Chain A
């Protein structure tokens, strides 16, 4: 101990430089590198992109008018001339309706999550950071919503408000606020007690700065990932509401509603009747796996 007391600084620098020769790649480069090695995530990401793309550009891709019915072509088989995916019970082109239906299904699936993320995220952040009575008030209020199964709650609220896209979105938002609040709250409480928050306070940061800079940035990642995993649930719930006649109304094309109206034809033409369900399944599965992959790739600490 006594002999090595005066490591001169040059010597020291050489030792240190040799020890840590890792070139910093930057955060996003690391994330991109991880995703590149993960085939499932890439495929799911492409599927999601394809679905979103085809929904947005439905009027460019679609061959026919989604509302144009034809008595003759009712329940046409898949592959019938002019009807690549068959026709529904009114003789409307299935492919066109599936493309257009994606618009509403995605919109009704994603917008409640976005709104719930804003509201629930704020509530959870406030509850987690302030703690004490505020926390208790907010979290117990959320528990009230938790008492109902989410499907039942969505149906009950939609039923009370009446059918319609707006009301369905309101009810779904209410369903998703509690879980998002809860996750945000727990992550915030965790982050709040970490040393770097105290270190920030020790170097003179005020509460607002700490929330804005340190808490928010560390909470946003996990909460955002959690919210994307809810999109799949939300799409299913939204379709469910439409299926029950509480969401979109005919003749609007929407996957859940289409599933409902084709229900009676399941014995006549099961393949066509199942198509909207297949779309819902693939969309929600892809969103789910994608969010899983992102969660793994975006964690800086791994």
Chain B
């Protein structure tokens, strides 16, 4: 992108790896993910279920079950070393610098408190303002996420709101302390198609308004194109291809990305047979030593037995495939 180099990146992740240690097997969910994210940039992590995208997102805030998850690598958010943080410092970071929205707006709110109470609670917790001030802020937030008659919604319980409304409220909650980074974990997946696009537009608008950086996780190529500046395609716990959205769409270089794009329904494809990627995602307890996609890849060759290095096709377009050179 053309962002000035002087800006300090909001996120700097280096070689982040996450594994879940179980009694019978160790699941290597994320295997060395590195990226940086500039202020105001929207990165979309695209991948199938089980490719490690949600885990990557949670790893950034160290929101993983500490007993079973092993996290390594370096993570910096807003210049702060997340890996070295105490629980207390982490709790301060979450919600202030980083906000998060979830896939299921149905269960992301506590059913026994009103929506307003949950938003004001967060504001009071982080900024120590009075209840009254927090309430005014919450009202303003609901207004900004375009919730009609916000006064009434503040007193509503989560189950009294519709799915789209609840996701809007969730966004309001995540934005309550003006974070510089918003993590969105498939926020539109559980919604109707018509509501999906509204939420996407809203997120895009708010992102510009607040100047936030956003990491958006999805399995939906259409959603990614709609919202992203940059796309990272994830497979087997690695970024297999990253680049500006335009370049990835026009010139995908990794066979997996190509397959993903080919298997997406376009309006022009009526009558044409959709191409599907054969096979199923890899078993994360036993990843192949080389390229994780090789077993499903049409172009697999003996050289795929060794882990493919990251190849920079252009300053911003990276791909991990030996065929790309």
Contacts and interface: CB of A to CB of B under 8 A. Distances in A.
Real complex partners, A and B?
yes
A290 to B, nearest CB: 22
Given A19-B162, A20-B165, A300 B63 contact: no
B92 A7 contact: no
Given A132-B67, A217-B110, A199 B155 contact: no
Contacts of B96: 204
Given A24-B155, A204-B93, A9 B146 contact: yes
Interface string A5-47: 1110100111011011011101100000000000000000000
Interface of A: 1, 4-7, 9, 12-14, 16-17, 19-20, 22-24, 26-27, 131-132, 194-196, 198-207, 209, 213-214, 217-218, 221, 300-301
A58 to B, nearest CB: 38
Contacts of B164: 16
Contacts of A5: 197, 201
B96 to A, nearest CB: 7
A214 B67 contact: no
B198 A12 contact: yes
Contact of B155 (A6, A26, A202, A204): A26
B174 interface: yes
The interface residues of chain A, by DSSP majority, are classed as helix
A216 to B, nearest CB: 10
Nearest to B173: A203
Interface string B244-269: 00000000000000000000000000
B24 interface: no
A65 to B, nearest CB: 50
Interface string B86-111: 01100111111011101010011111
B159 A16 contact: no
B8 interface: no
Contacts of A209: 125
A189 to B, nearest CB: 13
B198 A199 contact: no
Given A198-B63, A217-B110, A221-B112, A204 B126 contact: yes
B122 A203 contact: yes
B108 A196 contact: yes
A154 B178 CA distance: 58
B112 A17 contact: no
Contacts of A23: 152
B110 A214 contact: yes
Given A195-B102, A199-B102, A205-B122, 8 more contacts: A16-B147, A131-B67, A202-B99, A203-B176, A204-B93, A217-B113, A221-B112, A300-B159
Interface in B48-85: 61, 63, 67
A214 B122 CA distance: 13
A23 to B, nearest CB: 8
Contacts of A22: 160
B156 A24 contact: yes
A218 B201 CA distance: 34
A6 B205 CA distance: 11
Interface string B155-173: 1110111101100001001
Contacts of B113: 213, 217
Contacts of A12: 146, 198
Contacts of A198: 63, 102
Interface of B: 61, 63, 67, 87-88, 91-96, 98-100, 102, 104, 107-113, 121-122, 125-126, 146-149, 152, 155-157, 159-162, 164-165, 170, 173-174, 176, 183, 197-198, 201
B100 A218 contact: no
A24 B152 contact: yes
A27 B197 contact: no
Nearest to A14: B148
A213 B161 CA distance: 21
- A-B pairs, top 4 by smallest CB distance, nearest first, are A204-B95, A203-B95, A17-B148, A202-B100
Nearest to B112: A217
B122 A204 contact: yes
A27 to B, nearest CB: 7
B104 A195 contact: yes
Given A19-B162, A202-B61, A1 B197 contact: yes
Nearest to B193: A1
Nearest to A131: B67
Contact of A213 (B61, B63, B94, B121): B121
Given A7-B201, A13-B148, A195-B104, A205 B91 contact: yes
A283 to B, nearest CB: 31
B149 A204 contact: no
Contacts of A204: 91-96, 122, 125-126
A176 to B, nearest CB: 25
Contacts of A221: 112
A287 B242 CA distance: 64
A23 B91 CA distance: 36
Contacts of A24: 152, 155-157, 160
Nearest to B179: A203
B111 A301 contact: yes
Contacts of B149: 17
B157 A300 contact: yes
A6 B108 CA distance: 28
Contacts of B100: 199, 202-203
A298 to B, nearest CB: 10
A16 B146 contact: yes
A194 B173 CA distance: 17
A7 B159 contact: no
Contacts of A300: 111-112, 157, 159
